[in-house]
Amino acid sequence: MSKHIQGLNPAQRRAVEATAGPVLVLAGPGSGKTRVLTHRIAYLINEAGVDPFHILAVTFTNKAAREMKDRLHALIGPDAAQVLSAGTFHSLCARFLRKDIVHLGRERDFAIYDADDQLRLMRRVLRDLKLDEKQHPPRAILGQVSSAKNELVSPQEYARLNRTYFGELVTRCYERYQALLRESNALDFDDLLVEMVRLFDAHPEVLARYQDRYTYLLVDEYQDTNRVQYLLVRQLALRHRNLFVVGDDDQSIYQFRGADVRNIRSFEVDYPEAQVILLEQNYRSTQAILDTAQAIINAGDKQRHLKRLWTDNDQGLDVALYEGFDQEAEAGFVVDEIARLVATGEVTPGGCAVMYRTNAQSRPVEEALIRRGLAYQIVGGMRFYDRKEIKDVIAYLRLIINPFDSVSFSRVLNWPGRGIGERTEAELMRWAMELGVPVFQALRELETGTIASPLNARSTSALLGFLALIDELSRDWHERSLTELMDTLLARVGVRQVLEQEYGAEAAEERWRNIEELRSVSTEYLNLPTEAQLPTFLEEVALVADVDRFDAEADAITCITLHQAKGLEFPVVFLIGLEDGLLPHSRSLDTRDQIEEERRLLYVGITRARQRLYLCYAFKRMQYGRSTFSARSRFLTDIPRELLKQPHGHSGMKQPAAQTSMFTQRSGLDRQSDQRIARPGQKTAPVVIPANRSGGKNTRTQRPAGPTEVSFFAGQHVRHATFGEGVVVSSRLVEGDEEVTVSFPDRERRLLASFARLERVSEA
């Protein structure tokens, strides 16, 4: 038996040995897909005799690419691993375009604009077109442009498809945005992929060269591909069809980035001869956690590929379900429970993660952690490379290699201050537009003095001083090491002194440490040829993602959004804010597809847990500056009650006295008698009232028996005392009550019939 299949389970072995033709591996969470990918590459090289030069492996994060390469070093040796091409779609396309973008009439030394650069450029577009940012938010327009690019829709095609005032406005912005990108010799993230597809379409001979080079193609996280990525994969795999994709449609959660779950679901249509292999054995979680995850996902989309997750791990502890009175109580419980687990030695702080749907939910958790003195890390806060001082230094480095980069030019034109105000910059920009040249070329015209400019002598002197600085820094850059370039830049600009002037000695010291860290990063590129150090550094800095900053070695509690948590795992996971309006999010209630993606998001969060899982929600929550009552997430009702338990000694519902009447109204408890109120004619059944947070004993009382059939139907008109009139969307029996989904004028709501007191309204 080959060493590359030893220790693999039967399904993993079939995937590794399926070396020819298209293969779809449907890999459940924690099923060892990275192991399968790396062992298959090793098997291709060492058993099937494939030259690593002919293998291309595509991942979705730099972190995954590094992990793959590290494993391959051990499996096939460093030499073969170096020959193999592996990386993200964006990094690979950037690398390919450096060689071949000249076929599209573009320069190889293009800049890559990150999200902040793109926003700055769109703001300039709005200024150029004399559009008010307040009336036309640049982020919204940029989102429309990005969506169009992901669907390979040009500005002209966008105009044809969107014949509205807003569509016409976006078209104008899209056209100007692309013109400025080209003028700046820059590509944004979307362009890296779009230009690659255009290149292959326009130049079949270039595509044929890549098809001959990469006869074996492996793609990870295939469910997260968008249309452009789908087309790239299809173009590359068309000739040899040795396409191996790994993914899980149950974990498709990036629709907002353009990901299309249909890509993985239609794989067998695109490749009828494909082998389909299911990885269902989970090596990460307990069976109790897997059962909870399966209950959630199986209640949803019926078009999904069916899988049954199982494990040889222990059954494990029941999943804990906690209800807090408000977000502070919820956060307090989470932090108290973490402190308890750490104190008993059951877990380290680094083994705990708090996950949430939106970044704003981290605030009460952070405050509770600070009060308890517990170390934590926030994933998704300000990126290191988004800090002002870092972006300022990088802007200078980008101008060294590409002085036509208008975003970097504008960023440091007056940093440090050299007497060039907004009015001078605006006049320079207008003059460049009149001349029909990039702004840097306008500086050259200013230097020669052959064309009269609208700028006064003082402004001209300051601008020419800036030009001289860029020329000095750019001189012979390809013959100097990256650290030498950076040291020269920091000294020539006087960065440390500038920081002290701007922020004061104490604050400047922290920012200077960030600069020193950037210089330390630059030393990692000194093993490259001198002329490649600066371009490679700038390219990789631009492509760093938030999740790549996660420090797995830090002994600190991780606070992270569910979207960012994909690909990670922890012994203990707390999922907070499991309420309708948060998960599923209020913006996702318009269509069934959006709701199902929210379901998959919860599934992803649940399957990050290895040993302990806590599902938490609050009775009321402060949102948008006001306190509102919450309904627990509809997805929680899909979990069988026997799979859940309440955390010992915690009900979370020890609310202030002023709130008691509202709580008892919601829960159906009479404040004086602590008895469940029975509706007339109903029988009662036993129910256990959970212990309160002060440690009181459980009390057995009586609960009214629930209805045996629904009394509301779809299309029925009803009236609610608070929400007004609405139309019933659906109704079902759940937890001894009738849950009625009603579409009201403002939004859709799910209500329990026993509390909502809905009135039937005649349609006449």
Q: Residues annotated as binding site?
A: 27-34
* Dihedral angle, C-alpha 337, 338, 342, 347, nearest 10 °: 110
SS3 category, 260: coil
**Do residues 360 and 380 make contact, with C-beta atoms less than 8 angstroms apart?**
no
| Cα 86 to Cα 244: distance, rounded to the nearest angstrom | 14
Active-site annotation holder among 220, 224, 248, 597: 220
Spatial separation of the C-alpha atoms in residues 306 and 278, rounded to whole Å = 9
Provide the b/e sequence for 649-677 (b: ≥16 CB within 10 Å). ebbbbebeeeeeeebbeeebbeeeeeebe
* Active-site annotation holder among 17, 19, 34, 109: 34
221 catalytically annotated? yes
Q: Which two tokens stand for residue 411?
A: 């960023």
How is residue 36 annotated by DSSP?
H
Residue 734, beta-bridge partner list: 737
Nearest of 600, 599, 613 to residue 569 by alpha carbon: 613
- CA gap 171, 163 in Å, rounded: 10
What's the full length of the chain, in residues?
A: 764
Neighbours of 684 (CB within 10 A): 13
Phi-psi region of 644 (alpha: psi -120 to 50; beta: other; left: phi over 0): beta
Active site residue 608: yes
For 689, phi and psi rounded to 5 degrees? -85, 125
Identify the active-site residue in 13, 357, 608, 703: 608
Query: Distance from first CA to last CA of the chain, Å, rounded?
Result: 77
- Output the CA–CA distances (angstroms, integers) from residue 428 to 70, 127, 374, 460, 615, in the order listed: 50, 14, 52, 10, 57
CB 290 within 8 A of CB 309: yes
Three-state secondary structure string covering 669-704: ECCCCCCECCCCCCCEEEEEECCCCCCCCCEEEEEE
In whole angstroms, give the CA distance from residue 175 to residue 155. Answer: 6
Strand locations in 274-412, DSSP E? 275-279, 319-324, 352-356, 376-378
Closest CA to 277 of 23, 514, 463: 23
Query: Residue 195 carries which side chain, given as an amino acid letter?
Result: E
The reply to whether 251 belongs to the active site is yes
475, with CB counted inside 10 A (0-12, 13-18, 19+), is exposed
**600 noted as active-site residue:** no
Nearest of 733, 739, 743 to residue 751 by alpha carbon: 739
Given the residues 61, 88, 225, 251, select the one marked as catalytic: 251
Q: Are 4 and 16 in contact (CB under 8 A)?
A: yes
Q: In what order do the strands lie in the sheet with 55-59?
A: 85-88, 55-59, 216-219, 243-247, 23-27, 275-279
Binding residues for ATP: 27-34
Looking up tokens 């004619």 gives 681
Residues contacting 738, CB < 8 A, separation 6+: 706, 707, 710, 711, 712, 731, 732, 752, 753, 754
d(CA 563, CA 254): 8
Strand order in 748-752's β-sheet?
Answer: 748-752, 737-743, 724-734, 717-720, 759-760
For residue 88, indicate whether it is catalytic. no
Distances (CA, A) of 548 to 94, 413, 540, 565, 567: 18, 31, 12, 11, 11
Neighbour tally for 404: CB within 10 Å: 21
From 221, 260, 337, 579, the catalytic residue? 221
Tokens linked to 272: 């009828």
Structural element, H or E, at residue 48:
none
Concerning whether 33 is annotated as a catalytic residue, the answer is yes
What distance in Å separates the CA atoms of residue 489 and residue 521, rounded to the nearest whole number?
A: 16
Take residue 612 and report the two structure tokens written for it.
């302990």
The residue annotated as part of the active site, out of 13, 14, 33, 357, is 33
Q: Is 687 exposed, middle or buried (0-12, 13-18, 19+ CB in 10 A)?
A: middle
Point out the residues that are catalytic: 33-34, 220-221, 251, 608
